[in-house]
Amino acid sequence: MSHNIHFNQSTAKHSFFSVQQKAWHGLGQILEDHPTSSEAIVHAGLDYKVEKMPLYTGADALRIDMAGNAADNGLIKVPHYFASVRTDNGAPLGVVGKDYQIVQNKDAFTFFDSIAQSEGIRYETAGALGAGERIFITAKMPGEIRVGKDDLIERYIFLTNSHDGSGSITAAFTPVRIFCQNTLNAAMNSKTSVVRIRHTSGAQQRLAQAHSIMGLASRSSEQSEVIFNRWAKVRISDPELKKLIAMAMAPNQEVLGNLKDGSVELLSSQFLNTVEDVYEYALSSPSQNLETTAGTVFGAYNAVTGYYQNVRSFKTAEDKVKSLYLGGTAQIRGQSAFNLCEHFATGALSLN
């Protein structure tokens, strides 16, 4: 099985670490104590630099040259575009424009250290995906969201940076339900749930960025606790649950329209089987049998998100990270489930 957690040939280590627990698929380094961001970057194998290099093309080849003199070999320099390249092993990570500003791994995260100690923030995981074109780190915030008496949700901030031109540095509040390690990272409202971080060397700017992330996380945490506790008190019948799951899992408007019309015969067997799998998870998983989730709207939301976290198979660890955290299918379906649950709980949606 290909995990797609980057394996560094020179150090013979996977570019991943976690604190006091087995890393994904048993890969990576396990630490006893929470590191600073600079320590986390070393343990996760993220201590490499990235530079823009000239990009060349020829009749049969497209390549980069770290010395910048490949034109002598009959290749033509591509104007206005460069390759982003790891300087430790020469691996190309992507093609970027002339105005693209590279943000080194250490600069993407050290801004957070300015408030980490005072706010009680602890780095828990970090890693590199693919060849190192995407890196991420999860930072745990103190305190928990409590749903009912003892259904606890830990509060995390997920930070990511890319070197292939696909996105800026971003940070998002990511609650994780302890009982089943279920990620519940839907946007609470129409306002942005992500902070996009400007690359700046100024200490005051870094501090302001860090505080803006903490502000986002605190607001999102408070909103989540109110919403989840309200949902835990709203009952949903099994037929309503199954219909909500089907609507949340609908891949497009055509499928959603067929569901609303009751045209089951027009739905694919693959889609119907997936809905059955989510429904079965909703009824049979131990995490779904708590007072807060059994027969409740909060349980309906956890059914969809928990399916992707705990049931759905992914080809690689990278695929799972992208699906759950980087705008992939799991995150999209989770957002749909969140919106449907809120509409049902407030009486704006009827599933009869």
Question: Is beta strand 29-31 parallel, antiparallel or unpaired with respect to 50-57?
Answer: unpaired
Tokens of 231: 């949902």
Alpha carbon 306 to its chain's center: 14
- What predicted TM-score, i.e. pTM, was given to this entire model? 0.85
- The beta-strand segments (E) located in 187-234 are 194-197
pLDDT value, residue 71: 44
Three-class DSSP labels, 75-89: CEEEEEEEEEEECCC
* Angle, CA of 172, 175 and 180, to the nearest 5°: 140
User: What are the tokens at 72?
Assistant: 């002598």
Question: CA 169 → CA 155, 186, 197, 207, 209, distances in Å?
Answer: 20, 19, 5, 15, 11
* Integer CA distances (angstroms), 166 to 65, 93, 111, 300, in order: 22, 11, 22, 33
3-state SS assignment for residue 32: coil
Place of tokens 């780190």: 137
Q: What is the pLDDT of residues 305-319, one digit of tens each?
A: 999 999 999 998 778
Q: What's the CA gap between 50 and 67, in Å, rounded?
A: 15
pLDDT value at position 59? 53
Q: Is the dihedral of CA 280, 283, 285, 287 positive or negative?
A: positive
Per-residue pLDDT tens digits of the chain, which is 352 residues long: 345 666 666 665 666 656 766 555 455 567 777 888 888 888 888 999 999 999 888 755 555 555 545 444 667 888 999 999 999 999 999 999 888 888 888 887 777 787 777 788 888 888 888 899 988 888 889 999 999 999 999 999 988 888 988 877 888 899 999 888 888 988 876 556 788 776 665 667 777 788 888 888 899 999 999 999 999 999 999 999 999 999 999 999 999 999 988 898 999 999 999 999 999 999 999 888 899 999 999 999 999 999 999 999 999 877 888 899 888 999 999 999 999 999 999 999 999 8
Whole-angstrom Cα distance, residue 83 to residue 100?
A: 10
**Neighbouring C-alpha atoms within 13 Å toward the C-beta of 184:** 29
Question: Are 139 and 111 spatial neighbours (Cβ–Cβ below 8 Å)?
Answer: no
Alpha carbon of residue 86 to chain centroid: 23
- Using CA atoms, how far apart are residues 324 and 338, in angstroms rounded to an integer? 14
| ∠ Cα 263 268 271 (to 5°) | 105
Query: Which residues have C-beta within 8 Å of that of residue 12, sequence separation ≥ 6?
Result: none
Helix (H, G, I), strand (E, B) or coil at 202: coil
Residue from 210, 180, 178, 181 nearest 197 by CA: 210
User: In sequence order, what are the beta bridge partners of 217?
Assistant: none
Three-class secondary structure of residue 23 per DSSP: coil
